[in-house]
Structure 1
Amino acid sequence: MKLNYFKSRLFLKYISSYLLILMIPLILLTVIIYNSAVNNLRSQIEQSHLNQLNQAKSIVNNLVDQLYDIASRVSYDEQLTRYQVHDPYYGRYAINTLKNYKSTSPLINEMFLYFHNDNSIFSTAGMSRLEVFTEKFSFRRWQGSEVIQDLNEAKFPSVRPVNLVGKSASLNQSMLAFLVPITPNSPNPHGTLMFLIKESELTALINSILGNYQGSSFIFDNTGQVLAANYNLESALPEQDLQELTKLTPGIHSLHINGETNSVVSVKSEQNDWQFVTMMPSSQFFSNVLHIRSLILMIFTAVLAAGSIAALLLARKQYNPIFDLFQFANSKAGTAAEENQASSSGRRNELVRIRTALHEYSSKADLQEPYARNHFLLMLLKYGNLESLPSELSKSINLHFEGSRHFVIVVGRGESAEPQTTPPNWQHVMTALSKADFKEHAAYVHSVELPKPDQIALIVSFDPLDGQKEQHQVREMVDALLDRLSGAFQFHPIMGVGRCYAGPAQLNQSFIEACSAFDSRVSAGNGSITFFEELSESPSEAGWISKNLLLKLSQSLKQGSYTVAVQTVDEAMSELQKAGFCLKLARCVYFDIANTVIKTGLELGVGKLISDIPGQDAFQSAEELNRRLRALCGRICTWVEQNEKKEEHSLMDQIVSYIDSNYMDHSLSLEFISSKYSISVSHFSRSFKEAVGTNFVQYIWQKRITAAIHKLTTTNEPLKDIIQTVGYQDTPNFIRKFKKETGYTPGQYRKLYSEKASS
């Protein structure tokens, strides 16, 4: 059946679904990111304005405090009494004293001293008659009579925004008249100090607040008058809008002024009730994130384009297996006519057809558990007989060894291709190898993590290709595997390859051979791939027992594989019988076989082995020697299995002891323990649970929670210190798990225990 994706409604539905799933969060995320950028920028600007306004307020407060301080000092200065300033002789000292006071504050442009009901006023320039003063200093919106009245009647500090006009052009400027009665805070002051302050002095304090943004800054007095203003807008604000600004509480506000939304920041002085305000159009926040908006749109477009391509690829990838299953379902229709009819209707109802087909085969579907699978394959490599393995386990993982030929490859970590290359994560290698197959060679692979660290066994099942030698096909598969590992992880593994056998029941033979080839490579320093069949033999060994057979015998004993050991002994004896040696020569070769068995046993440290060594009479016949060697192999393999169990129990005892002493170390993990004690992660995890009865993570948690409970009930240490002491860094996670375990939070548990102890 020819596949045309776009004729399938299901395929089109997949694409539209993927695009919809992509578009909804993408649009929401884009809007959220853009608004977040605008809000963050706005918050930063407004906070900056707030900080600068507070700073300006502090500066102005300090300057006003200086004016109050000057007024207080003037009121008590003996040289500035009414008598002294009117005295012809001491008057000049009074003028100099006023100059000294003026110089103490950079804010003062000029200062005047006036005594109530006096006809004269004194300044740093000298004494003037009131008539002369009002003529020389002409104020807009403040008549001369009003000036004199305010000077005589001022009982509280006040500010008067004025425009000073005089004969000199330098006097035509905006000023602030700051009136302070003397003595300050007295209910009956006897005079008034008037400070003339340039409005530009205050304006300079707020000029830089807005920076590059358009807007306005204001300083209002306690009556709502504008003391200073910095307009960056096209026109000044109407009086009504200014009054609205004076009514704002301190903080950040959003106001609709001049037909647009404005961001307004206001602070108020607690000292004199002056108000400091900045106002800027909110549209500037959006205009200042144009580059972010452009970037977001570019990213949105790129993601949308990439998502569309990904949606097409994912839809195809998702649809392909469904189409395959659909074809399989149609193949059950029986006749070609029925198949075509199913195809035409199935294009619209693929899932219905698949559901029907899968219902018939649902009993065959199962879920593989990694540790059980690895354990089953380890037992298969050790014992070789599928029937001797637990039937429930083999059924649950449903392993299949397709192909007529099977062999084993042992893979170990080699040197990196480049010195700077980081060694690969062995678990990643395991994952990659578990998915490895060689369809071009009609081969399939099962990976097994061995107890030794950084070693993996691969069970390869394949069908021989027509016109190609078996060994050549095996070599091509091994070379392809090496290329994959080198290309994916940039390292050269060490591999030992066993011989091919007809069924899975003989995989233990191939595994022992692969281990022999692997060990031979490590000790002899051959290439990164060693084939058991090609282990080097010297010409002088021709006609004797082959070297690889003796290596296999030794390796089977080291692995504790009695089945392979006796099969190897039988094979060696059979080779001798076929060689047709005379009895004396055959007896010499028998010694080679016996020596290999005895030497391996002694190397392994098997106790009291000498008493079981075959005597001289055993070498009189092949049958007697075979029987004795079988018994000796059985003794050695039994000792190896028992010793492995003892070593494993001893190792688990060491690990448990180490954990009990170091469970408070937050870096303690499966990987750390596996590396420290040179054991694979999966083997350690399985062995630990078998030895202790619980998994590693739960055991660590129980130790830590027990220690935490002890500290909670016997000490007053802070909870955070207790959690860190017992080896936890994530305090919220610990509290959550503690409550799940005990029903109480650590704090509640401590309080409950204290109440019980006190009662």
Structure 2
Amino acid sequence: MLMEGDGVNSKAVFWRNPIFYKYLLSYLFVLIIPLLLIALFLNQYFIQILQEVAVQNNEHSLQSVQQTLDDKLREMNGIAVEISSNPNLLPHRITSDMYDAMTAKEELNYTLTNGFLEDVLLYIKGSSYLYSSTSTYSKKMFINQIVPYENWTLENFVSNLEQLRMPAIRPAEKIKNTSSSHASLHGERILTYMIPIPVNSPKPYGVVLFLIKDATIQQLLHGAVQDSEGSVMLVNSERQLLTAYNANEEWAVQAFQALQRNGDSAGSSIMRINGQRYVVATVQSGQTGWEYVTTTPYMAVMSKAIQAQKQSLIVISLVLVLGLFIIYISMRYNYAPIVKLFAFARGRLGTVLTSIQQITDGIEVISEDREKLSQKLESSRTAIQQHLLLSLLQGRGGTSESLIEQGREVGLMLEGPVYYVMLIHVHRLNNMPIAKRQAAVESIEQIMNAFLTAYKADLSDKDGFVYIGVTDSSRAEIEDRLMQLIAPIAKVADGEVALAMGNLYEDMNDIGKSYIEATTAINYRLIKGLNQLIPFHALGLEQSGAHWYPKYAIEQLEAYVLRGDLTGIKRIVTDVLNQMNEQHVNLYIARCICYDMINTVIKALFLKDGRLIVPDSPDVLQLTKFETMQEFAQLMEELCSYAARQADDSEQKADQQVTSWMAYIQTHFQSAEFSVPSMAAHFELSVSHIQRIFKERTGCTITEQLNEVRIQQAKKLLVESDMPIKDIVCEVGYYDVSSFIRKFKQSTFLTPGEYRKHHAGRE
């Protein structure tokens, strides 16, 4: 037992130990380095992003103003088109009759629906008047009294209108004292937009003038300013200042000089004007060629970014203080167990330790000894577990109490009250690569442990697993859990599975019965299929369809194979398999029907071609190795596909044979010894086979074809030569002249002599 003084002394030694300071410095390093990196990141990258966002927002606002003003100009162009197409506003109407000129006011009343425009006027070139929605003015009256421009004289006004060929805008100009009808323009600055009509005409006959208050334009430009110190300038394609918000002409000149120094590039950039940094954004209209320029003090744009930078530094400082506090608490409390460990080691070993490694070495020795002992115990425990489980499956147990006690000693919790055996069959598990199979087995065991209380018995089943289940649930609940196991097991096994379950028993000595029942049920996967649970109690072993047999369907199958009808074959196989499941046939009858169908297909192949080419045919032994009806259907489909290929090959071969037979007849017809048996012997075929194929392919017999060839040759000799008929008979392969004459007359309805005379007369 340690004394209090010893504990205090050990604690004092520990605080003087370099280990304490090593870990303290490591904590400080882990805290400070990330904070420094974060601070640098915020100061460089994050602030740069905020700057780019602010500049882009400034540019987007300017683009919005440009698009709005372009829309207004398009509206004015549309009004000009309407005026030029209005028959009531044609030159000969409004200049020839003062009444029509007065009615033109109603046609020009566009300002009522367009608050952007102050007034719309129409001028016909060569005339003396301007027409508006309010009145008709002479040119002198308009320029001197109605809208007296500060710098636009009557002579320039008339000259500009008469010579106008393209749309033009006059910069904002102050209006002097006006008449009462336009008193609202007194002291205002006005922009005048002029469009010759007809629009785009090389010889316009008039001009439409749109009067726009500069205040209206500046109200639009104000939307592009992000700060009270910012300014917006609008210039035409010749960079003549049309109007500006919060800027004068001198400032515009300085701004454009700065733009020229930076290459007149569109977009946003930071430049110096009068020694100060400004964010300058430039947007050019593709419609008019006008430029929109904003200048905003750099510090005004970056005010939010600078504020965010200050806030981030405050947050980092707070995090640093909080981190230091947490380090202090951690060093004070979390290292207390190490202090006790040093004190314990000093008391046990009788020496002061300055390194944890000395304590670690002793702990490692104890741990290694403990691990070796655990491994020995675990290896023997597994063997005992398997021995006990196999004894239960074989029915060689004892009393339930002794079995439960034996299981508890080796980690098997066999306290019932109900027991059952479950089999898991993984399709083609043994065909998997070793590594993949081992991984699948481990995954299945993990799934089983997660879902059920069941213990695996290591038997010699290559494609399956045997589990003894212990439960207090009902049969329906167990079956529901087992159904939930199918999908995850199939996924980890990367294949199809089948689960079978024996009946539930309360006595542990009946586990062997449940095992036999589960084994019987798993074999019924042939009929029931994979990816489902097959409980023994649901098999219905009374077999209501024990005397059912699909005789007619198998006869149809043979007919479809002979015809090479793959669709019909697949339909017959599917129908038979479905009926087998509906009739509840037993395993023996089911396999007999399957073997009979295989035999029917193979027999049909022999009947069709007289032989079966073994090297190209499917593995006949493989046809008997099926575990489910789905596998059987797939094997049948492969076999029937082979039959179809055989049929195609036979067709091609028959065509080739007939061609060679015809050539043989053409070569040997002159021989009186020619016969079908000799021809069959030449080609190493049976007489019946060669006669059947020849008849099917040509529509006539070999003898008929031979006679036809001989008759055609005789016709040729009768016409082209003077040979006696007797010699011609011998030349074409006949012995008997009378027989030849009879066959010749049957073919041509003439005797050989008559045939020669008939064709000689034609010549």
Please give the TM-score of this superposition, normalised by the length of structure 2.
Answer: 0.45
> Which structure's CA Rg is the greater one?
2
Please give the TM-score of this superposition, normalised by the length of structure 1.
Answer: 0.46
